[in-house]
Amino acid sequence: MIIQNKIIPTISIFITSILIGLALYFSYTEKSEQITNNQIETLLQEITKDTQLIDANSDHNQALDVMEYAKENSIKIPKTIVNFDTHSDIYLNDYQTFPDSGVEDWLNEYIAQNPEVDTLYWVVPDEEANNILMQILMAVKIFDIPKEFSPLMGNSIAKMNPFHFVFNPLNKKSFTQNFLIDPQTKTMNEYIKGHKLNEKLFKNNIKYKNVRIITCTKDTLPNFKGEQVFLSLDSDYMSNSGFDTALNFKFIKSNQEIFNTFYSVFKTTKDKKMKPVIISMSLSPQYLPKSKHSYVEKILQLAIKYSKKQDIIKNYKHHYDPKRYE
């Protein structure tokens, strides 16, 4: 998202060439089994039976409008949010230059506005979790001393092996971090007790809120045991154009593969025993390949139809703002 490509660490051409070759060799390919409409209809009816609000929207920061509608209509915001997304949609350090939250940092506001929210699961696509270049980038960033705002993408102030995510891929082991956020400014940073950067990152006169962020894949999500969640789906989880994504990382799938991934999100919701009270699904047209817009829009509406609930929200205050990316 914003400035992601400006903070990529310098890697020699020789090493980059080797890594690209390895990434291609080990790249993940999803099985193209034929999932039918009947399968997803039955699944959606089952997992949405206790859902109080479901919404299909355009831009991912419109999940904030879904949140606001829920609060206005006495729907309790769950303490846990599960976000299926290629990007974390969280920014670290003092970054506020726009009055409203964008698609790249809406979760900062979501967490800041809801005192009860204490846990976020960022579920990355299998393609991203298994890409060696992305694995190394996530770990290399741990050597960056926070000097300016940057997106959360696995980066940690903890000392780790630069090949940590190669040897411990997210589809085998989730990655948990603890953060403190200023509810007023929405500024967030990782907190590790006794770390030398604490004095620089945090001020004594601010009452911070604690939040736990677990980066994982669908396979390394825990058993929620019926816990209520806010379920968020960004369509770039299903197919990503590479727009403003670190290393221009992208994966473009066929319609059947997209449908299978869409199904897998809700199958995971069932298998991991989540209870989605609120569901927000975003098209994210800037990040979804243009050739897939129409198809994905149809399957998002299909989810609404099969849930046997109404897509109530018609007007949104939040939108994608191209000025933030100039």
- Note whether residue 321 is domain-resident: no
Q: What local confidence, expressed as pLDDT, does residue 141 receive?
A: 56
H helix count then E strand count, the chain: 10, 10
CB atoms within 10 A of CB 213: 21
- Note whether residue 33 is domain-resident: no
Q: What local confidence, expressed as pLDDT, does residue 148 receive?
A: 65
Average pLDDT over residues 102-122: 96
Q: Angle of helix 63-72 relative to helix 106-113, nearest 10 degrees?
A: 20
Q: Per-residue confidence at 85, pLDDT binned at 50, 70, 90?
A: very high
- Note whether residue 146 is domain-resident: yes
CA–CA gap between residue 53 and residue 73 (Å, rounded)? 10
Structure tokens at 215: 């980066």
> 30 and 261 in contact (C-beta within 8 Å)?
yes
Q: What is the CA radius of gyration of the chain?
A: 19
Looking at the structure of the chain, the number of domains it has is 1
Amino acid occupying residue 152: L
> 181 and 112 in contact (C-beta within 8 Å)?
yes
Q: Per-residue confidence at 96, pLDDT binned at 50, 70, 90?
A: low
Rounded to the nearest integer, the mean pLDDT of the chain is 88
- Note whether residue 188 is domain-resident: yes
Q: Which residues contact 146 (CB under 8 A, 6 or more apart)?
A: 92, 93, 157, 189, 197, 200, 201
- Note whether residue 231 is domain-resident: yes
pLDDT (tens digit, 9 = 90+) per residue, 216-269?
A: 999 999 999 999 999 999 999 999 999 989 889 999 999 999 999 999 999 999
HSE-CB at 226 with a 13 A cutoff on CA atoms is 0
Q: What local confidence, expressed as pLDDT, does residue 154 receive?
A: 81
Domain harbouring 187, CATH code: 3.40.800
- Note whether residue 126 is domain-resident: yes
Q: Where are the beta strands (DSSP E) in the chain?
A: 53-57, 80-84, 91-92, 119-123, 150-151, 175-181, 188-190, 209-216, 228-234, 275-282
Mean pLDDT check: name the lowest of 4-18, 26-40, 51-65: 4-18
- Note whether residue 234 is domain-resident: yes
Whole-prediction pTM: 0.90
pLDDT (tens digit, 9 = 90+) per residue, 151-199?
A: 888 888 888 888 999 999 999 999 999 999 999 999 999 999 999 889 9
Do you know the residue count of the chain?
326
Q: Which residues contact 18 (CB under 8 A, 6 or more apart)?
A: none
- Note whether residue 307 is domain-resident: yes
Domain that holds residue 168: 4-28+43-314
> 262 and 253 in contact (C-beta within 8 Å)?
no
CA–CA gap between residue 48 and residue 278 (Å, rounded)? 9
Q: Which residues contact 325 (CB under 8 A, 6 or more apart)?
A: 2, 244
Mean pLDDT check: name the lowest of 33-42, 78-87, 93-102, 159-168: 93-102
Q: Angle of helix 255-271 relative to helix 293-307, nearest 10 degrees?
A: 30
